Structure 1
């Protein structure tokens, strides 16, 4: 081990290296989660609604079910904010000096990532089901069809990216536990010599 590390980061106060930060697996996966969220949001908000001249209000392309579009937009917005917040936390993480505070941050990452994986799995099943039962007459000239399929596909991808993010956070947690255990059991060499020295005879 090159110096003290806790939960995947070195001592607090080290200079921030953007290149190293971008190359970290957790950063790459988190940026992928953020990108997929942007795609889902863009697809639903831009082309997820159909507006017919004979109808006063536009309707959702997913089987005219407003709940499907609302779910995608709401979850996409919350997920976007979540990604931004945890990216900021990743930048700040090496500056956290307390091991307990780092542990809380990593545990939060595990919980939130697992939750988003579940949320996007539900979203994928919901959107796919509603798209499957959509009537062709409700999407004239296949308006919004490509966007709907893209939203479904990237919801499916999001399940795996958030699962990988959760696994990476679990790995960081295990690394942190090992490093903390190492430091708790560490004995100064001078103290070890005193402990191992044979008792003196009077």
Structure 2
């Protein structure tokens, strides 16, 4: 299957050479690695803990859009949010970070925002007013972006606690790294008690 897919992709690349005309001799040629996941049955069963993966797994991403209309305390402005790493620097830097690292990144984002807005809190001169008006759209954009990521992370955290995902993740990791059959049985029993409505094969 991998070989057939690789041949098909290679054929499309060779018949659509204009897609790769912009590459120069100095550029590193792109590499597409195709893996057969049938040789790795464990990884797809583990809950993902990176920011982008958690948003997709818990809240759902469709066409770079996340629907937060059902979230408690979601404002009209944040009922639907766009996630695009080309336009959102924070998302670009945080999308592959784990949830623990994300908290640190959000803290730095808040501190940066505070520092930027504080410099313009005292508007005394015409120069200060001019500077503030020139940068106001940028401040508003940063504020909305910060609110968006605070909302997303708080929603993820709410679902983690409601669904007991920390405990479930711990059991999944233990199951994946233990080869003892008796341990597996004990883990499955405990995992079933954590998620009584989930069918486990």
Same fold (TM over 0.5): no
Structure with bigger RCO (C-alpha 8 Å, 6+ apart): 1
User: Quick check: which one's helix share is greater?
Assistant: 1
TM-score range, shorter chain: 0.3 to 0.5
From the CA coordinates, give the structure whose radius of gyration is larger: 1
TM-score (norm 1): 0.38
